[in-house]
Structures are given as structure tokens and as C-alpha cells.
Structure 1
Amino acid sequence: MSEGEAAAIARTGERPVTIASLARDFAQLGLRWGAVVLVHCSLSRLGWVCGGAPAVIAALERAVGSTGTLVMPSFTGDLSEPSRWRTPPVPESWWPVIRAELPAFDPAVTPTYNVGAVAECFRSLPGVLRSAHPQMSFAARGPAAARIVAGHALGDGFGDGSPLARLYDLDAKVLLLGVGHENNTSLHLAEHRAAWPGKRRREQGSPVLQGGARTWATFTETEYDDSDFSAIGEAFAATGQVADGPVGGGRGRLMYQRALVDFACDWLPAHRGA
């Protein structure tokens, strides 16, 4: 048994977390049949889940039903401009080699990077569609999946040409499972839309397939910064628009994404760069 499993067991309580108990917890939070929901999840923070990541996904699908659509991040931040790597950095002499040799993003094959076991499991399931952005892709399954993942623009991967904007159009929900607002990617859409003193853009790069051939693509995007996302989330929760309750051995937070993004678009100019 790993240390992580031992900690999960200690967090769980009298009974293990199951598909049925998770589905009840999701319903108690307000997740309903037919919902379109973007899920960010830390499996270990939910306690010891009987069945692990597949069980969490099964419970989510039980909650939203056949008419609902699940969406999860399938990010690949390791397929990025090596000069920007900080945790850890790599020698400058490696940069041109990485740009020339890093395998191209393939939505069907490329694994997720640092988004958790549930998202990695989800992106490989039958019927899941994945957007084509080489760093900021999203995976979705359900009636609205094709609309959500289609046409993901290379520049501004969290902007108006992204699945986040399609979720906004659909008035989707965001569900945080065992994670806080620092993981709430929808706030990046607000960063793209809002203005504040000192807002900047940056260059990025990724290996992509064009006409079946690998190439290094460069593009520009907002310089995203999640350092104040927890503060935004706390301020938004104070408006009473976040359902917060137990999920397994952890906590879940459920909210409407459009309301969150609109709130953050007002919050950012008032607090950033002031």
C-alpha cells in the first residue's frame, strides 16, 4: 500500500467511498440529470474510492445521465516552449533539441500531464472526444461533446475560441472535487476577456501535426496567472452562488461557469495591477 492510499483510507471514515455514495453526494450538491459539467478532480482527496478513477467517472455519469455531458481537462503542459519551463528548468542548450524532437500532440494518443488520475482515465474512454489544442485540450463525452471540443483555436487556448467559451455559451456548471479554485480553469477565460493594468501577452510554442508532418508551431496568448484564483473563488462563494458539501472523504464545490466568469471579469480590473 502506498502512502497516498494510506492517507486516503484515513480520510474516508467508516465506509469506503463507492459509485453509489458518490452519486448521492453529487445529487446532494445539486448536480442533475442533463447537466453539462466541467470537472476538476483530485482522486486522493475524495478518500479511498472503491474502484478508483473509473468509479468516480461512473458516479458522475450516473448523476448527469445519458442526456448530460461530462468535460474534463486533458492538458499537456509539457508540450510547450522549453525556455518557459520553471519546475524544473532545463539547460538552454537543450531548447533547440526539444523544439526539434518533442513528439507532436496527438489527441488520440498523447497522455495528459499533471491533471490527475480521473482526467487521464476519462480522456482514454470509448466515445470521449478531445479538442485539438497541443497544450490546453479538453475531453468530453455526451450529447454536447462535439460542440464543446470543435474548433479549439491555437492562440489563446483558454480564450473565446476554446471549449471554455463553448461551456460558457451552454451555461454549463463547474464541479471542483477535492480541489480549490486555484484549479478552476474557467477563470482563465475571465483573464482572457478582462482588462487590468499591466496585462500582457506572451509567445508560446508546441509540436503539432500539420498535413501529417510534425512541425513546431508558435502562437501568442494571454499571460495567464492563477496566483489570485483562490481569492476570486472566495469572493465569488461569498455571493452565495457556490454549493459546497461533502463528497466521499473530501469536499465538492458546484457552480455555474457563466456566473463565475462574469464575476471574475469584474473582479480582475478592480484587484489586479492596482
Structure 2
Amino acid sequence: MQEIQGQLFTQSTILQDLKELGIESGMTLMVHSSFKSLGSWVAGGPVAVILALEEALGETGTLVMPTHSNDLSDPEGWRNPPVPSEWWEEIREHMPPYDPHLTPLWFMGIIPELFRKQEGTMRSGHPHHSFAARGPKAASLIAGHALAFGLGENSPLARLYDAEGWILLLGVGHGNNTSIHLAEYRAEFSGKKQIPNKAPLLVDGVKQWVEFPDLELNSDDFVVIGEAFETETKQVRRGKVAGAEAILVPQRALVDYAVGWMERNR
């Protein structure tokens, strides 16, 4: 069997990379990540990444990750792939209700999947757009996550904005930057549309399909917005963490910029 090639990364080397990028003790930090982008070999795997992030933030810092589960939805709206209409009622009957301790993530990656299970991590109660957080500000960030408009004013994104938090894009780009959705709720632009959503929830101990309103979200222009923000404001820090391209962004400044960009261009 051929020997593994490439560079070895460890919790210590990742920690040093995070510090060089600008991550400091006491920050409130939202992380979007792709573990496979970090390189051929990380000693300790995704656990080492989580521990390095927590060490960089220290005891006074708070780590946040999106833990979305959009598949916990009405099968009538599934498109990728669609399922036969004769399955819909049976799926609705047997789909388990959202459980912050049990419900897995949907296409969010191994790092947040493990982080949500770590002792001391808290996860918000939204069945589609939950967030997990660990640290002194965790409870205030995830408390009161409303069903309606789940990435809007009563969401952890808005609380991160209030806390003047930061965003780390670790091996991913602005197309994965959930915080720009907050700008969609705040901006006024043509074509802004409200839609109904549904999810199975426990209500007084009984599973019910609960309907709630949301916006029809669109991330197609997020990369353009992120690049324009970087070019015009010079507030983005770029570097390498292990083998991954890493981007550190002040969330409040980005959201404010994105509101104006959407109002001018959408």
C-alpha cells in the first residue's frame, strides 16, 4: 500500500494558523467549514480542528456553527430529488420530530456534526435553521430562535450581529456564508417573497406538522457580494489554515454592506 503523501497537520499547527489569520481570545466566531479542504492528513481529524478553534478563542470566546436540517420538511416540496406523491403521507406520518440532541445535520459537514455533540454545546430549536454554540455567550445567542423567518431578526444570526461577531470561512466561500441571509430579511428589493414552511415538531409531547412563514431565500449572488465587500472595504483577512483557504470577516460590517448591495442590485 502506498504511503500517504503531503503535509501533516495537527491541533498545534492549526491553532498557529488560526492565530496568524487574526482569531483572538474572547471573539464570538461563526465557523463554516469543509474538513476535506484542510489537506491529506490531520492528526485527530475534525476533532483536532474543533479543539484548535476552542483553544484559539479561549475561555472567554464563543464558538458558533450552523447545524441546519432542511431535510426535516414536507416531502411535497422536495425537488432534489423529488419523491413519488403516493409516498408523501407515509413520510409525514413517520418522519421523527425535530430533536436538538438527536436530529442530524443535512449537508453541513463533519465538523459541525461533531461540534453539536460535544458536551457543553447548546443547539437552538429551529427545525430547519438551527445553530450550535459553546462558550459564555452561547445561551444568549441561541435563545428565542423563532420558527417564523428563521434566519431573520429572531435568530442567532441577528444575535451574532448584536455581539459584533466574526465569520470564519474555512475551506468554503461566501456561497456558504449564512450571515448574508440576514441581509435578505433586512433589505428592501423587488421580488422579495414570503413562503410557507412546515416541519414536524413536538407540541405538548405530541408530534405535529407545524406551519410557519419564511422568505424565499436566494444565495446565488452571495459570492459576488462577498467579493465586492472585500474589494471595497478591505476588511477581509485571508490566509491558510492547514491546507485550506481561510477567510475571516466581521459579520456586522458584511451584513450592513450586503443590505445596501441588495437594495441597489436585486
What is the TM-score normalised by the length of structure 2? Answer: 0.96
Determine if the alignment matches structure 1 residue 253 to structure 2 residue 247.
Answer: yes
Match in the other structure for 1:32: 24
Structure 1 position 95, deviation (Å): 2.1
Are 1:218 and 2:191 counterparts?
no
* Aligned amino acid, residue 185 of structure 1: T
CA shift for structure 1 position 211: 1.1
Give the Cα–Cα distance (whole angstroms) in 2 for the partners of residues 83 and 38 of structure 1: 32
Q: Which of 175, 180, 200 in structure 2 is aligned with 1:207?
A: 200
Q: Tell me the alpha carbon deviations over residues 44-84 of structure 1, each in whole angstroms, 9 at most, x when there is no partner.
A: 00112111110000000111001100000111111012222
* Letter matched to residue 248 of structure 2: L
Q: Percent identity?
A: 50
Alignment pair present for 1:243 and 2:237: yes
Which string of whole-angstrom CA distances, capped at 9 and with x for unpartnered residues, describes residues 112-132 of structure 1?
111000000000000000000
SS of residue paired to 1:120: helix
Segments of structure 1 that go 5 or more residues without pairing to the other structure are none
Unaligned runs of 5+ in 2: none
Aligned partner (choices 72, 82, 100) of residue 75 of structure 2: 82
The equivalent residue for 1:45 is: 37
2:135 aligns with 142
Alpha-carbon RMSD across the aligned residues, in angstroms, is 1.3
Q: Which moved more, 1:240-249 or 1:84-93?
A: 84-93
Deviation at 1:30, TM superposition (A): 0.5
**Where does 1:53-68 land on structure 2 (aligned, <5 Å)?**
53-68=46-61
TM-score, length basis structure 1: 0.93
For residues 58 and 237 of structure 1, the distance between their equivalents in structure 2, rounded to whole angstroms, comes to: 29
User: 5 Å matches for 1:1-274?
Assistant: 13=6, 15-47=7-39, 48-238=41-231, 239-272=233-266
| Stretches (4+) displaced over 4 A | none
What's the offset of the Cα at 1:240?
Answer: 0.8
Contact preservation (8 Å) 1:204, 1:220 = yes
Q: Please tell me whether the aligned partners of residues 130 and 140 of structure 1 are also in contact (alpha carbons under 8 angstroms).
A: yes
Amino acid at match of 1:203: P
**Matched residue type, 1:28:** E
Give the secondary-structure state (helix, strand or coil) at the position aligned to 2:9: coil
Per-residue CA deviation, residues 233-272 of structure 1 (Å, 9 max, x unaligned), is 1111112111011111111100110001000000011111
Return the offset for 1:213: 1.1
Distance 1:101 1:195 in 2: 39
The 2-side partners of 1:81 and 1:261 are apart by 30
Secondary structure, counterpart of 2:15 in structure 1: helix
89-98 or 170-179: which moved more?
89-98
Cα distance in 2, alignment partners of residues 185 and 228 from structure 1: 12
Give, in angstroms, the shift of residue 99 of structure 1: 2.3
**3-state SS of the aligned residue for 2:189?**
coil
Check the 8 A contact 1:33/1:67 in 2, yes or no: yes
Any idea what the Cα deviations from partners look like across 1:104-148, whole Å, max 9, x if unmatched? Answer: 000111111110000000000000000000110000000000000
Residue 205 of structure 1: CA displacement? 0.4
Q: CA deviation at 1:101?
A: 2.0
C-alpha distance in 1, partners of 2:180/2:85? Answer: 32
Counterpart amino acid of residue 264 in structure 2: A
